[in-house]
A and B are shown apart, each in its own frame.
Chain A
Amino acid sequence: MHRCLRTTSVGSLPKPAYLRKARSAHEQGGLSASELESLTKKATREVIAVQKEIGIDVFVDGEMYRGDMATYFAENLSGFEISGLVRSYGNRYYRKPVCTSEVKFKAPITVEWWKFARDLTAQPMKAILTGPYTMMDWSFNEYYGTRSELARALALALREEVKALIAAGAKEIQIDEPAISVRPDEIDLAIESFGRVVKGLEAHFYTHICYGDFTKIYPKILELPADQLDLEMANSGMDMLDLFRKAKFTKEIGLGVVDSHSHVIEKKEEIRDRIRQALEVIPPERVYVDPDCGLKTRSWDEARGKLKAIAEAVSELREELKLD
């Protein structure tokens, strides 16, 4: 595997139309769990094949088995019910987890899916879960007295999931915390909760952060015990690099170089330019290159186009800069 400018994805990829249809049929009782599982596996195989074809370095399983990133984990832990629909924007609604009793780990949640995807390729396969702070912030809390108590309980439960992934052989583990930059006054709680999940465990830990005011949590966020911060750099015009010039960025960066919410496929030159800008501040062996965020809201052609543009831009740049 390449040592510099490794390419990867943030996590989710678009679900093919047949899978979306199958999930909705299953929800309405018109399709059995085993039929849904076999279609989910089919979609996962396709996701792996696309990454192989494009030549991505660190693979993801595409999260074909998941609906919402918080609800999926809540459904599989003790202590949660799922609410009625609430709107996030426009015509998009989701079912929000409701914590109604003590949060506990029941059984591994993503491990079987991770193993299934891992067995389809020789490339490293990232395991991905949603972090305790985000799970807390994106749930209704009817049980615990405070936000920090709920975050603590979630951290202990999710730690069991991470242990199970490590026991199954996972070495690359991403714990998503997109909510971490939303309330700068809770950054200590977010860092402490993340620490409770990973303390003493051996893996290469990533976290993904997006959609918030990063200026208010930097450089404090460097205290988060993860090896890599995966950031949406394209959407914010790469302006975070100015922060890194003022206070040194000491971790690996997951450099988001394409906008996950735009239909337009970025030009390779544009991507190379963004990477070059980052290389002024962070050495190439600490730069991973990926989209800004999960690509699940894009069409398959757009998602493939964006990943391909990344892989080609990186490959040209490695050659140009003589990077291995």
Chain B
Amino acid sequence: MKTTVVGSYPKIPNRPRPAKYRMAIARLQEGKITPEELKEIENEVTVEAIQELVGTGLDIVNDGMIRWEDNQTPFAKGLEGFEIGGLIRYFDTNTYYRQPIAVAPIRFKQPITVHDFKFAKAKSTKPVKPLVTGPYTLARLSENRHYGKFSDFACDLARALREELLALEGAGAEMVQIDEPAILRCPQDAALFTEIIRALVQGVKCPIVLQTYFADAIPLWPTMTALPVGWLGIDLATNPVTWKLVNGWQGGLCLGLVDARNTRMEDFKSFRPKVEKLLSAYGNDRLMLSPSASLEFLPRERAEEKLKRMVAFATEFNKDSSVSNDRVA
């Protein structure tokens, strides 16, 4: 049973460690450093984040998305057809993002995340899982001023982002995470969602983790389990009722059991019987443990501590289950 993260990592640590990235952006805004100098600092801070994530003992990491303002902006800037609008609340969090505005047909121009992926891959001793915000969620979180129908907008996004997936695969990605939190809030769009995810992953060979969060996935489960993806990622912290969701899925399950939105440390012992039950249905190779969402909702030190404890839980669990397997053998 492996461990991973599901999104961005807090960009700055707390005192006494310096908030390099925050200071660098402020200095850029004051005209005291150049955009090239900011890039240097971004690279430095990204390497530090990767090292910290690897240091927690995770099996699969990412680059912490240090360079991203939010999950939408890099794709809105990287694709053709978007402008960037004003600040708007991100789901039910107390964080905000700049709303993309579709003003022309959405088209793929060139790879958006591949350069950063290659950089992270070269700097990490553990496999790196890049993240692409899914077409449904990107469409839902954008303002549509171009398309007559939402479905045409989402389908064009799926076609464009498929190119991104193929480019990541070509760059050596062993697994790609697609974030689709918005679909949990719009179960009435299940049929459209199925259509666009099929279009998105068509011809993509590397395993895809379809990641959802911020709500209970049970109502969408029949739809999710019919999708041509290798893994499903679910948030078990927002609503513990989601633990009931186990049946009818032949792929891998990423269990978001660590609450990414509250500093309270989880009682890992309480997870044990639930994970054991899932293990008997799925087996070690088809389960991963992760936080429930991006860890950027937490102060950096608490995020790191939560990851360490999750890894310790997985390690102990794997040891015990291998012992009991030996006994059975």
Contact = CB atoms under 8 A, between A and B. Distances in A.
A131 B19 CA distance: 32
Contacts of A211: 88-89, 96
Contact of B19 (A85, A86, A90, A141): A85
Contacts of B264: 140-142
B295 to A, nearest CB: 10
Contacts of B87: 89, 261
Interface in B113-134: none
A138 interface: yes
Interface in A156-211: 179, 182-183, 211
B89 A84 contact: no
B141 to A, nearest CB: 13
A182 B97 CA distance: 15
A261 B297 contact: no
B94 A179 contact: yes
Contact of A85 (B12, B86, B262): B12
Interface string B9-37: 01111100001001001100100000000
Contact of B262 (A84, A138, A142, A261): A142
Contact of B296 (A86, A96, A138, A182): A86
A182 B94 CA distance: 9
Given A138-B94, A141-B262, A87 B10 contact: yes
B247 interface: no
A91 interface: yes
Given A83-B299, A85-B19, A142-B262, A183 B89 contact: no
Interface in B172-197: none
A96 B14 CA distance: 13
A289 to B, nearest CB: 23
Given A91-B22, A93-B12, A142-B264, A86 B299 contact: yes
B302 A83 contact: yes
Nearest to A184: B92
Interface in B18-64: 19, 22, 25-26, 29
A140 B263 contact: yes
Contact of A90 (B69, B88, B302): B69
A227 interface: no
Contact of A86 (B26, B29, B88, B297): B297
A212 B96 CA distance: 11
Nearest to B300: A84
Nearest to A95: B299
A141 B261 CA distance: 10
Nearest to B93: A182
A284 to B, nearest CB: 31
B167 interface: no
Interface string A262-280: 0000000000000000000
A87 B296 contact: yes
B301 interface: yes
A117 interface: no
A49 B25 CA distance: 35
Contacts of A93: 12, 22
Contacts of A88: 94-96
Nearest to A84: B299
B83 interface: no
A86 B13 CA distance: 10
B298 interface: yes
Interface string B57-98: 000000000000110000000000000001111001011110
Interface of A: 83-91, 93, 96, 98, 137-138, 140-142, 179, 182-183, 211-212, 261
The 7 A-B pairs with the shortest beta carbon distances in the complex, nearest first, are A84-B299, A84-B14, A89-B96, A142-B264, A140-B263, A91-B25, A182-B92
Given A87-B10, A87-B95, A142-B262, 15 more contacts: A84-B300, A86-B299, A88-B94, A89-B69, A89-B95, A91-B22, A91-B29, A93-B12, A138-B94, A140-B262, A141-B262, A142-B263, A182-B89, A183-B92, A211-B88
